[in-house]
């Protein structure tokens, strides 16, 4: 696993041993970022504030920093994953642009400011995407134009919270990526 593009392109990322962490594949991350930077729902990553919830190794958020994001907040509850995440942030020399929050994304702390882009990558088949989206919204993590990318198992069902609408969906092997925005802002 490595950073796909940007100033940290090719940098390997550490992952804790064991089956608990399932990092987003390089291919899926590359596909997501191609959509984010060049697709019909393109977002300007330069100076963006980003959230990487259920961060694991931090691959999604570190990819954003590599491509010009101003700051990424990583929410991760598992000790081993936080250790790998902290090592990966340090290896990329991004400590000043990254905040690691020890929390459950379904019960997050209040946001210091809303983010422009949010990634959610909970363990597959746990049904945590919708509860996390609702909790993050209630705690001020999203503004009207926040773009949200949620990763789930390709066979997993998803009922979007009422305030969000799905604007795209892509499959990458065992993963599906949902692109969501606040209803009426697409």
167 located within any domain:
yes
14 located within any domain:
no
- The residue with tokens 């290896």 is 91
What range does the domain containing 32 cover?
Answer: 26-182
175 located within any domain:
yes
150 located within any domain:
yes
Q: Sheet with 98-102: list strands edge to edge.
A: 98-102, 71-76, 49-53, 115-120, 142-153, 175-182, 164-172
Q: How confident is the model at residue 141 (pLDDT cuts 50, 70, 90)?
A: very high
67 located within any domain:
yes
Number of domains making up the chain: 1
CA distance 58 to 74: 7
pLDDT of residue 21: 63
- The residue-averaged pLDDT of 84-104 equals 96
37 located within any domain:
yes
Q: How confident is the model at residue 97 (pLDDT cuts 50, 70, 90)?
A: very high
Q: What is the pLDDT of residues 66-81, one digit of tens each?
A: 999 999 999 999 998 9
8 located within any domain:
no
7 located within any domain:
no
CATH of the domain at 130: 3.40.50.150
- The residue with tokens 């379904």 is 106
């Amino acid at each position: 696993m490595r950073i796909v593009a940007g100033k940290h392109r090719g940098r390997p990322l550490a992952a804790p041993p064991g089956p608990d962490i399932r990092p987003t594949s390089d291919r899926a991350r590359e596909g997501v970022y191609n959509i984010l930077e060049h697709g019909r729902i393109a977002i300007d990553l330069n100076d963006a504030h980003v959230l990487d919830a259920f961060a694991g190794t931090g691959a999604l958020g570190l990819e954003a920093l590599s491509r010009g994001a101003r700051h990424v907040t990583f929410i991760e509850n598992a000790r081993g994953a936080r250790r790998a995440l902290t090592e990966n942030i340090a290896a990329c020399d991004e400590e000043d642009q990254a905040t690691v929050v020890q929390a459950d994304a379904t019960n997050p702390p209040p946001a210091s400011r809303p983010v422009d882009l949010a990634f959610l990558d909970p363990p597959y088949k746990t049904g945590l995407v919708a509860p996390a989206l609702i909790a993050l919204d209630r705690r001020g993590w999203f503004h009207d134009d926040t773009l949200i990318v949620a990763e789930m198992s390709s066979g997993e069902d998803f009922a979007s919270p009422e305030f969000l609408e799905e604007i795209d969906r892509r499959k990458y092997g065992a993963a599906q990526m949902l692109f969501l925005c606040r209803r009426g802002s697409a």
